[in-house]
Amino acid sequence: MKLVNQQLIKNTNMKHLYASIYSNPGISRTNLAKLTHLSKTTVSTLVDELIEREFILDSGTGESDSIGRKPNCLQVRMNSYYTVVLNWVENTVYTYLIDIAGTSIYEEERQLGAGDTYISCSASSLYDSVLKQCNSNRILGVCVVVSAMIDALHNEVYSTTLSLPSMGKENLIDALQNAFPEYPVAFLEDTACYAYAEKVYAGITEKNFAFLNFSRGIGATLFIEGKMLGKASGSFTQFGHYSVDSNGPLCVCGNHGCLETLIAEKRLKNRIPEFGTIPSLSNQDTVTFADLCKAATFRDPTALSMMRQMAWELAQALGNLICVVNPSLIILGGKIPALGEIFLEEVREDLKKVGFRKMVDAVTIRYSTLQSDSFLNGAMKYFFDIHYCFTSEDSSSFFIG
Ligand SMILES: [Zn+2]
């Protein structure tokens, strides 16, 4: 037991040191000790181990100026360790090899063929292609990212947007657990990965915040007192199925008037007739948030009234969300930033009319500023920060969320 605790402490300290070097490139051992409140001896020992294992490098060693040797200068080592991120979307596996220092160095796309499952297709991508890019022992783990509710309690995956016809009768979670025996595997939900990317790369300091993802569906991830609620499994919140109109259209979930049936991007085209016609969009098969924003910018009256109604519907849901968990920040991400400032302002104004005023007034609502593929880095970073262990070689680890 004592040894286990020591290993845990060592892992925590190494994570802390790596993260501090990552955020402060060029830092010296002395400043690292001050920053992390670890003893100089601990810092020195663990930094030496991180250098030896090629996680970091000391670019100051060997350099000298007229006075003598420069103080050491610690950096994370690029192109040294990786995480494989597999994104399953509509019978396609997108594979990425992502350096833990932050860059994607390889990516490919494979369609599921006849008889393929997401797992068999992922395995062939990993073993046939990815392993040609780097040594197997440089892969710290495999993340599988889906737009789905991964229910660890009932050992099942539920999704209204990801078709899972190719799994047959075999349980997906059980099969995934045994698919890549050489590596730890994490099964993650995409909105949670986006939210983690926001926290890390957009430098969010608020302990209570919500990230809303408007992509294929509508999802949310909540951080409560600094912790992601329900881990990265997507099984604690179904924000897209929050109903704002009990007489609204029937949703696949069985409810009426869910946000997904009203303001998801894929619903826009069918919803226009409710408000009139938008001549500039009438010939398009699909209508995107960006299309609607453009029409509203040029003062198309139908586009403006549709956008106003959508803002009102979202504001109602947000007002209730705020009453339940009181976040100080709400980030609207995925594709919805394309609706532009007109929509965001409308949501802010509408929020003043709903919800518990004292709480609502204290909330900042803004769009995400990260790229639309930020969930990939979010997945890599989440796996590395939360699940990777410097002091364990257990390749059979399997994490849901
Ligand atoms: Zn629903």
Residue 324 pLDDT level (bands cut at 50, 70, 90): very high
Distance, CA 126 to ligand 1 centroid (Å)? Answer: 35
Single residue among 47, 76, 105 that ends a domain in this structure: 76
Q: Are residues 364 and 240 in the same domain?
A: yes
pLDDT at 70 over 60: no
Distance, CA 350 to ligand 1 centroid (Å)? Answer: 23
Longest dimension (CA), the chain: 79
Residue 147 pLDDT level (bands cut at 50, 70, 90): very high
Q: How far is residue 57's CA from residue 372's CA, in Å, rounded to a whole number?
A: 31
**Sign of dihedral through CA atoms 339, 344, 350, 355?**
positive
Distance, CA 298 to ligand 1 centroid (Å)? Answer: 33
12 in any annotated domain: yes
Distance, CA 249 to ligand 1 centroid (Å)? Answer: 10
Distance, CA 69 to ligand 1 centroid (Å)? Answer: 65
Q: Are residues 189 and 213 in the same domain?
A: no
209-214 and 329-334: which strand pairing?
A: parallel
The CATH number assigned to the domain holding 50 equals 1.10.10.10
Residue type, 96: Y
282 in any annotated domain: yes
Q: Are residues 304 and 356 in the same domain?
A: yes
3-state SS assignment for residue 385: helix
Q: Are residues 260 and 185 in the same domain?
A: no
Domain count, the chain: 3
Task: Give the 3-state DSSP-derived string for 149-217, with helices as H, strands as E and coil as C.
Answer: EEECCCCEEECCCCCCHHHCCCCHHHHHHCCCCCCCEEEEEHHHHHHHHHHHHCCCCCCCEEEEEECCC
Helices and strands, number each (H, E), in the chain: 13, 15
Distance, CA 40 to ligand 1 centroid (Å)? Answer: 55
Average pLDDT over residues 296-311: 98
pLDDT of residue 171: 85
pLDDT at 225 over 90: yes
Q: Are residues 109 and 171 in the same domain?
A: yes
Q: Are residues 61 and 96 in the same domain?
A: no
Q: Are residues 61 and 104 in the same domain?
A: no
Distance, CA 136 to ligand 1 centroid (Å)? Answer: 42
Distance, CA 47 to ligand 1 centroid (Å)? Answer: 50
What is the tens place of the pLDDT at every residue in 154-196? 888 887 666 665 555 578 899 999 999 999 999 999 999 999 9
Distance, CA 340 to ligand 1 centroid (Å)? Answer: 26
Distance, CA 307 to ligand 1 centroid (Å)? Answer: 21
Average pLDDT over residues 361-385: 96
CB atoms within 10 A of CB 338: 18
Distance, CA 44 to ligand 1 centroid (Å)? Answer: 54
Expressed as residue numbers, the domain containing 327 is 203-369
pLDDT at 222 over 80: yes
Distance, CA 216 to ligand 1 centroid (Å)? Answer: 13
Distance, CA 208 to ligand 1 centroid (Å)? Answer: 25
What is the tens place of the pLDDT at every residue in 42-61? 999 999 999 999 999 998 75
Distance, CA 192 to ligand 1 centroid (Å)? Answer: 19
Residue 2 pLDDT level (bands cut at 50, 70, 90): low
Distance, CA 58 to ligand 1 centroid (Å)? Answer: 53
- Contact 104/77 with Cβ under 8 angstroms? no
Distance, CA 336 to ligand 1 centroid (Å)? Answer: 19
pLDDT of residue 63: 46
Distance, CA 160 to ligand 1 centroid (Å)? Answer: 9
Distance, CA 366 to ligand 1 centroid (Å)? Answer: 25
Beta bridge pairs of residue 144:
86, 187
Residue 4 pLDDT level (bands cut at 50, 70, 90): confident
pLDDT of residue 297: 96
Distance, CA 257 to ligand 1 centroid (Å)? Answer: 7
Identify the helix (H) or strand (E) that includes residue 74. strand 74-76
Single residue among 76, 92, 116 that ends a domain in this structure: 76
HSE-CB at 172 with a 13 A cutoff on CA atoms is 24
Average pLDDT over residues 60-85: 76
The CATH number assigned to the domain holding 338 equals 3.30.420.40
Distance, CA 219 to ligand 1 centroid (Å)? Answer: 11
Question: In the predicted model, what is the mean pLDDT of the chain?
Answer: 93
71 in any annotated domain: yes
Q: Are residues 240 and 351 in the same domain?
A: yes
Distance, CA 90 to ligand 1 centroid (Å)? Answer: 20
Distance, CA 289 to ligand 1 centroid (Å)? Answer: 20
198 in any annotated domain: no
268 in any annotated domain: yes
pLDDT of residue 397: 94
Average pLDDT over residues 243-271: 95
Distance, CA 111 to ligand 1 centroid (Å)? Answer: 29
253 in any annotated domain: yes
Distance, CA 300 to ligand 1 centroid (Å)? Answer: 30
Distance, CA 287 to ligand 1 centroid (Å)? Answer: 21
pLDDT of residue 296: 97
61 in any annotated domain: yes
Distance, CA 259 to ligand 1 centroid (Å)? Answer: 7
Q: Are residues 348 and 234 in the same domain?
A: yes
Distance, CA 202 to ligand 1 centroid (Å)? Answer: 30
Residue 62 pLDDT level (bands cut at 50, 70, 90): very low
pLDDT of residue 168: 53
Greater confidence, 114 or 71? 114
| Prediction pTM value | 0.93
Q: Are residues 217 and 362 in the same domain?
A: yes
Average pLDDT over residues 288-306: 97
What is the tens place of the pLDDT at every residue in 185-199? 999 999 999 999 999
Residue 295 pLDDT level (bands cut at 50, 70, 90): very high
Distance, CA 169 to ligand 1 centroid (Å)? Answer: 26
pLDDT at 137 over 60: yes
Single residue among 44, 76, 108 that ends a domain in this structure: 76
Q: Are residues 86 and 211 in the same domain?
A: no
pLDDT at 64 over 60: no
Q: Are residues 308 and 346 in the same domain?
A: yes
29 in any annotated domain: yes
Distance, CA 255 to ligand 1 centroid (Å)? Answer: 5
